[in-house]
Amino acid sequence: MHILSALSQYDHKERRKIWNLSLRSFVHFLRAQIGYHIETLGELEALFPEEMAIYFDSIIRKVPITLHPIDVWAVADILKVIY
């Protein structure tokens, strides 16, 4: 109950910020505890992506922007060499 009374002194934005930071910290802790258990890590990634943003109480997966466009012909040449 002490934590709730401590949080009540902050305004709504500040409480949401604390909640978001706490969630990220807890998920980071879970990732460290899971280690290399692929199935469990996959389930955690589905719920809480490593790169996430929180908008309007919804978790959004952040997709990194591709820095360079992919040339289809170059990829075809690379795949020919690999296979």
How many domains, the chain?
Answer: 1
Query: Where would I find the beta strands (DSSP E) of the chain?
Result: 52-55, 58-61
Tell me the Cα Rg of the chain. Answer: 20
Q: Tell me what pLDDT residue 9 has.
A: 66
Beta bridge partners of 52: 61
Check pLDDT > 60 for residue 2: no
Residue holding tokens 């290399």?
A: 36
Q: Tell me what pLDDT residue 8 has.
A: 64
Percentage of the chain exceeding pLDDT 70? 84
Q: Among candidates 57, 61, 29, which has minimal Cα distance to 45?
A: 61
Check pLDDT > 70 for residue 42: yes
Q: Tell me what pLDDT residue 72 has.
A: 86
| Token reading at 52 | 């996430």
pLDDT tens, position by position, 27-39: 888 888 887 777 7
Whether the Cβ atoms of residue 44 and residue 30 lie closer than 8 Å to each other: yes
| Domain range enclosing 18 | 2-82
pTM of the model: 0.53
